[in-house]
Structure 1
């Protein structure tokens, strides 16, 4: 068999294999062979398929993202539809890693190529809008919000209303932001409530409105998602417990606050959010110092357990 027949046969076979670990090994074999024989088409295809598999490992997002970017050198060797999917997937993963400028770069490239309307295209538009929000470019955020509103999916209008509330919040127009966020929270499904609750908490804590913040915490059972599957949701639950922990410590409920911060670290550990883990760990130690408390054996054992779990995921 010649090189192309060999690579094509192995590539087709790899796509049929159910065991993910064996799939990755087969794609690695294709990559090695394609590099040695100068066949960039199969190099690009194997990189693409390997990236789609490895990006699902939430604890190794940064590693899979950096490896996935090698695909950019061979993008033109993919079918146009796969080029667009690769750009969207890299953009969405960049957003989950809080690399907002890179998210915008990849999603905009994908949007410029893509004419076919899809939910993935809608997600890329939404991520671009959100990235501009985090970068505090509210003009371009509003531009992409209008583009996002054009998609004819049932959830789009609710998401768009939420984004408009975020723009009000970011520009500190709390008079408009709070009622709109409360409306979004009331009508949202369980798995969509946690980011809205976090946005309200951030506003109430800035306003030093303890009663309003306490009211959100009282709704915890209805707010926390029943099932957490995406990096974004792990991040949002981690943020919720971080905000709650800080609030409880400030309100004099020291032990309950520390427990929340430990929960926050656990959720951040699931996605390898190391800067947030370090920040919360530092806050736990600093809180003990400020309040004249000794780090008890139970807290230290919890640190050790969390450390071992996180290290195993690296």
Structure 2
């Protein structure tokens, strides 16, 4: 790549590369089928903006990288539609963020006519980009432009797409939830499907933060407004069902569970089998619940595996069945693998953290102190990664420094590591 100067023109760039390659104007004209006269005028600055297909032929022949010549080209391109096509091409080429952003800025600067139409075209191209950093930057540009031009629907759409990305950062659950709640002020500018998705995502988000009342409120909006028998509505009903159970409102929980049973999707049938055991164990016959969960575990889905294991561990520990708890440890790697699923929520990751804590309890009961410390540490860090800071501190506080001193086998290094984890969580 040749070095460039800020004042470098497109003609200067082509001349540099042609000279370095020892290619004459005549040879370049023959290779590209662009006339020698046109090439000469381009290099001399008499033609500042060649036809785009001719420019590509020349740059391809000379091996000039797209990001080197395109920023020079768009400086003199005055057609919004042409710059928009180049914007789309830059995204398709996976160009550096800096290049794509400069093209986007140029488009928004020179675009004329109806502002709504300008931003609508920009939005359609911008959301196709899968790389998170670039998409977030483009969405912020869209939001800023929409605000300055009073285009309410695209303020809403931009904020919504940004929320869908930001909510995947489990270390900022509370912060991103509040930004999602703020977005409800713009919900009326979203289309019906987007609005339902926003409420559902917030319902799941609230559930992960253990804000079960808000989760119910948001879930019930979806239930009341999505009148289809879709998977979407089924999931909202299941979310409401679980939230009511966590609030110990059995009547409402059972009501929504019965509504959920009306759906015939395979994942619904799987969830029902798990929930039958959970309901029996928590609200009825514990021994029946254990039997149902053990039966379900033999063919448990990857999605419900971690829930089933943790619930069984809790039930076994309550009954002092330590040998039965040990049998569940073989599922540890399978549970970790199940969390790579795209549907994994922070709440589900919290169940893995709970598994680590329960295994630590079992190990401590067996006087295997060093191993217990390791699992309490893993539990704390897993909780911290999903913003469950109270649970993280609880896992660590199970072994305080004063208590550790009385445990054989735990060395000073382990105590120092424990203090380091405390300090990390405190910061």
TM-score normalised according to structure 1 size: 0.89
Query: Any conservation in 2 of the 1:58–1:271 contact (CA below 8 Å)?
Result: yes
Task: Select which of 187, 192, 208 maps to 1:80.
Answer: 192
Higher-Rg member (1/2): 2
Q: For structure 2, list consecutive stretches of 5 or more residues without a partner in the other structure.
A: 1-111
Counterpart-to-counterpart distance in 2, 1:244 and 1:179: 21
Tell me the equivalent position of 2:361: 246
Task: Select which of 292, 295, 310 maps to 1:198.
Answer: 310
Query: Any conservation in 2 of the 1:191–1:225 contact (CA below 8 Å)?
Result: no
Tell me the equivalent position of 2:391: 276
Change (3 A) 1:221 1:53: closer
Q: Does 1:153 align with 2:255?
A: no
Q: Does 1:224 align with 2:335?
A: yes
Task: Select which of 181, 186, 198 maps to 2:293.
Answer: 181
Please give the per-residue CA displacement for 1:64-111, whole angstroms capped at 9, x wherever unaligned. Answer: 211111111111111111111111111111112221111111111011
Once the two structures are superposed, the pairs formed by residues 33-112 of structure 1 within 5 Å of their partners are 33-112=145-224
| Greater fraction of residues in helix | 1
Query: Any conservation in 2 of the 1:193–1:225 contact (CA below 8 Å)?
Result: no
Please give the per-residue CA displacement for 1:260-306, whole angstroms capped at 9, x wherever unaligned. Answer: 11121232233222111111121122673583567622342365368
Q: Quick check: 200-209 or 106-115, which moved more? A: 200-209
Q: Quick check: 113-122 or 296-305, which moved more? A: 296-305
Q: Quick check: 156-165 or 294-303, which moved more? A: 294-303
Higher relative contact order (CA 8 A, sep 6+): 1
Tell me the equivalent position of 2:416: 300
Tell me the equivalent position of 2:135: 23
Counterpart-to-counterpart distance in 1, 2:273 and 2:130: 41
Change (3 A) 1:158 1:17: closer
Counterpart-to-counterpart distance in 2, 1:84 and 1:40: 18
Query: Any conservation in 2 of the 1:7–1:30 contact (CA below 8 Å)?
Result: yes
DSSP 3-state at the match of 2:160: helix
| Cα deviation, residue 198, structure 1 | 0.9
Q: For structure 1, list consecutive stretches of 5 or more residues without a partner in the other structure.
A: none
Counterpart-to-counterpart distance in 2, 1:256 and 1:132: 37
DSSP 3-state at the match of 2:399: helix
**Cα root mean square deviation, aligned:** 2.5
TM-score normalised according to structure 2 size: 0.67
Counterpart-to-counterpart distance in 2, 1:187 and 1:290: 44
Change (3 A) 1:220 1:291: farther
Task: Select which of 252, 257, 276 maps to 2:372.
Answer: 257
Counterpart-to-counterpart distance in 1, 2:339 and 2:195: 29
Counterpart-to-counterpart distance in 2, 1:53 and 1:132: 28
DSSP 3-state at the match of 2:371: helix
Tell me the equivalent position of 1:233: 348
